[in-house]
Amino acid sequence: MTELLSIVIAKLNYWACIALMMIGLYAMIAKKNLVKKIIGMNILQTAVILFFISIGAKKDATLPIIVHGHAAESHAARAAEYINPLPHVLMLTAIVVAVATLGVALALVIKIYQQYQTLEEDEILTRLQNE
């Protein structure tokens, strides 16, 4: 029992991210409304971002900002004291790119709405066939 519990505690973060990713993927596949699909895509992106941040965590370590970096006595930073900065860098840019791609996606949705007066996928398909 305690063995199982220790496995759950060690992996809980990853599983939460996977659950979020499943929600997003389900919305992208099953929902008919395009805006809901975009929301699903954003949930999926958030899941990936949280997953990367989880990977960067380290026990007994602090933020990747060196304390008293410019102090007179130079003390070298030890890698065990600071969490992994690399996932943070990657996700920092990924967040901004997610916002920009969200903007493009919404622009496409506005265009589709202007053309077909609906955002439901099946209605758009019937209107395409009727033309």
Contact positions toward another protein, by CB under 8 A?
7, 9-15, 18-19, 21-22, 25-26, 29-30, 54-61, 63-67, 69-70, 74, 76-89, 92-93, 95-97, 99-101, 103-104, 106-108, 110-111, 114
Give 19 or 128: the residue with its C-beta nearer to another protein: 19
Q: Specify the DSSP class assigned to residue 117.
A: S
Residue pair 44/25 in contact (Cβ under 8 Å)? The answer is yes
Residue pair 63/81 in contact (Cβ under 8 Å)? The answer is no
Give 100 or 128: the residue with its C-beta nearer to another protein: 100
Residues contacting residue 116 through CB under 8 Å, at least 6 positions apart: 123, 124, 127
Q: How far is the CB of 128 from another protein (least distance, A)?
A: 18
> Is the Cα torsion angle 67, 68, 70, 72 positive or negative in sign?
negative
Q: How far is the CB of 118 from another protein (least distance, A)?
A: 16
Q: How far is the CB of 131 from another protein (least distance, A)?
A: 21
- CA neighbor of 37 nearest in space, from 7, 45, 95, 17: 45
CA distances 123 to 51, 100, 128, Å, are 36, 28, 9
Give 85 or 127: the residue with its C-beta nearer to another protein: 85
Give 11 or 127: the residue with its C-beta nearer to another protein: 11
Q: How far is the CB of 40 from another protein (least distance, A)?
A: 11
